[in-house]
Amino acid sequence: MSRQRKTIHFDTNPFICEHCGLTVPSPLSGTKNRNHCIHCLHSRHVDMKIGDRRSGCRGIMEPIGLWIKESKECAVIHRCQKCGFIRTNRIAGDDNEVVLFTLAARLITQLPFPAKVALEKIERQQTGGTR
């Protein structure tokens, strides 16, 4: 009888993304518990807490933002389209850089005020701030 079995499990199997329909390959070593698509960064609302698979929602989680932590670690902010649950998700080494960049750019270009105005203000502060 073996008593060494552990109940914690990480998803290491490839899966098909419900948003874009592409296959998400097994995570590279060092990436554990990835649950978002590397192509479109969408995820699925299956956890109450990371990895527990206890949520019955199963809604598609859409990437709504990026969170750069102090350690320069980058996380995607996901929001469930069904129930509005918000969660952060560490990005993986093989995530699509173009999609990540688009997400970051969208945050700037879809501000409620023109990014140009803010950038010009910043520039003015930098150049004309000293008397």
**Which of these, 17, 23, 25, lies nearest to 42 by C-alpha position?**
17
Q: How far is the CB of 36 from Zn ion (least distance, A)?
A: 8
Q: Of 70-78, 79-87, 95-103, 122-130, which segment contacts Zn ion by CB under 5 A?
A: 79-87
Residues in Cβ contact with 30 at an 8 Å cutoff, skipping those fewer than 6 apart: 93
First to last CA, the chain: 79
Nearer to Zn ion, 12 or 23 (CB): 23
Task: Kindly write out the interface string for residues 35-54 of this chain, putting x where it contacts Zn ion by CB under 5 A and - elsewhere.
Answer: --x-xx-x--x---------
83 binds Zn ion (CB under 5 A): yes
100 binds Zn ion (CB under 5 A): no
Q: Which residues bind Zn ion (CB under 5 A)?
A: 17, 19-20, 37, 39-40, 42, 45, 57, 59, 80, 82-83, 85
